[in-house]
Structure 1
Amino acid sequence: MRNGPDIARIASLVGDPARANMLTALMDGGALTASELALEAGVTVQTASSHLSKLMDGGLLALTAQGRHRYYGLANPQIAAMLETIMGVAASMGPQRVRPGPREATMREARICYDHLAGDQAVAMLDGFLERSILIRDGEIIGMGAAGPSFFRAVGIEPDALATFRRPVCRACLDWSVRRAHLAGSLGAAIFDKIISEKWARREPGSRAVIFSPPGKRAFEKAFLG
């Protein structure tokens, strides 16, 4: 057996259709009960419990107890990034499972990917940061450019505070719908928090879609797209 990470074990966990549906249902950064995840997966609660046990043992999920209820969520942002990348590969290689309707276009424009913005708007934002040297990129590594600290302080985000989190400040996350990178990491999360706190956009209930109001979209573009 070759040395290195056991990717076959992780692939087998994600590769089951019911477990894949459970994991993608948690990509909005929320937490669901076993019953709710059973509905997402289209299986019985008993079957869902077996799947959840495997995902927990594999380190893909975290469990939170609140009173009599037990809530399951993704273990960390890295799991969401992995799922987003797999979705990008699946979208490019087909066959695709597409739900028709206007929500799909909304999801392509802007959606949440665990705790940061994804979709067309997010990719355009990262492109703009790189073009203006607010951020710099070396291969898959993204870092703060010379113009970055002053830029983010001007919009109310303190870069030095982000560096204290136990995760990268900047990280490229492959966007499944655009198939190019958007911004993840603690900076990506801080920008999404800013969008929501300023009420530029709202979360669509029961969906990963993020809906910008017309004035909110203008404010977002002025602040982050230049």
Structure 2
Amino acid sequence: MTSPTRTGEPDIARVASLFANGTRARILMALAGGHSLPASALAEHAGVTPQAASTQLNRLSRAGLIAVRPSGRNRYYELADRRIAELMESLAALAPAQPVARTLRASNRNEALRRARLCYDHAAGRLGVAITEALLNSGALVPAGGTLQTENAEHPYRLGPAAIPVLTGLGVPESHLTDDQRRPLLRFCLDWTEQRHHLAGRLGADLFNAFTTAGWITRAPHTRALHLTPAGEDALARRLGMGGAVDPGGIRAVGDRGSLNGCG
């Protein structure tokens, strides 16, 4: 999404109207995992006909919120910018909950997203929150202001004294643990299902890439849901002390640090 020179006040109402439609909102949430999906999959996610999905996809495309990538006879859609995913997740943290899913399939899908999901390029859900808690417990992260509560929701923590040995042991190159003007190393999102922080920013993306490369986390096709593999359970238990945070049903939330004030 381009950022042209701005001379007047931002037209918030105009862009907000694009999110004020149930079908468009569900399409954008389905794409918030950072991957490309065909129109048929997005129609299924939104619970509408292919024709209805096509109408909204065209509007989102014209507005510059999504990009279209042709592949053979198919067209794949993806978010134009990760900031859109961050905005959707922030809105989700403020939005009231919808009625409980009425079908087993929808209920299972919702539970899978609560357990572990991709928030554009980093882990969210109970898994993302548990990893962040484990990094705090290990000393890789520490509260930025010396306390767990902070006014800055996006940067409540900083790298701690154990950051280099812990993070390099998880597969993040030491050279990546430096400031980069293109993208902040550390950001934290208020997880919309857990109402606690999970790690975002460049470090969140680097950890996710390291975990998938190592085979610790896999992605489910055509969904944001993530799966922690047995190898991943073992590795996170040994390297981050997360053995008590993992059970056969998925990720169990670790010790509560309170409801903190951030995506998804």
TM range (shorter): 0.7 to 0.9
- TM-score normalised per structure 1: 0.82
Q: Which amino acid aligns with 1:53?
A: N
Q: Distance in 2 between matches of 1:213 and 1:150?
A: 23
Q: Distance in 2 between matches of 1:165 and 1:34?
A: 35
Question: Which residue in the other structure is 2:39 paired with?
Answer: 34
Q: Which amino acid aligns with 2:192?
A: W
Equivalent in 183, 199, 202 of residue 218 of structure 2: 202
- Does residue 125 (structure 1) correspond to residue 140 (structure 2)? The answer is no
SS at match of 1:112: strand
Q: Percent same amino acid among aligned pairs?
A: 39
Q: Which amino acid aligns with 2:19?
A: V
- Does residue 113 (structure 1) correspond to residue 119 (structure 2)? The answer is yes
Q: Distance in 1 between matches of 2:219 and 2:40?
A: 23
Q: Distance in 2 between matches of 1:98 and 1:128?
A: 31
Q: Which amino acid aligns with 1:88?
A: A
The alpha carbon displacement at 1:44 in A equals 4.2
The alpha carbon displacement at 1:22 in A equals 1.1
- Does residue 49 (structure 1) correspond to residue 54 (structure 2)? The answer is yes
Q: Distance in 1 between matches of 2:39 and 2:109?
A: 26
Unpaired runs of 5+ in structure 2? 1-7, 145-151, 243-264
Q: Distance in 2 between matches of 1:81 and 1:220?
A: 26
Matched-pair contact (CA < 8 Å) for 1:200–1:216: yes
Aligned CA-pair RMSD: 2.7
Unpaired runs of 5+ in structure 1? none
Matched-pair contact (CA < 8 Å) for 1:28–1:114: yes
- Please identify which structure carries the higher helix content: 1
Question: Which residue in the other structure is 1:170 paired with?
Answer: 186
Q: 1:4 to 1:96 in 2, by over 3 A?
A: farther
Give a deviation string over 1:40-88, Cα, whole Å, max 9, x none: 3344444433322321233321222334433210122221122122222
Give a deviation string over 1:173-207, Cα, whole Å, max 9, x none: 12111011111112111111222222223223343
Q: Distance in 2 between matches of 1:38 and 1:44?
A: 6
Q: Distance in 2 between matches of 1:97 and 1:165?
A: 42
Q: How does 1:1-226 map to 2 (within 5 A)?
A: 4-90=9-95, 93-98=96-101, 100=104, 101-138=107-144, 139-140=152-153, 141=155, 142-161=157-176, 163-164=179-180, 166-225=182-241
- TM-score normalised per structure 2: 0.72
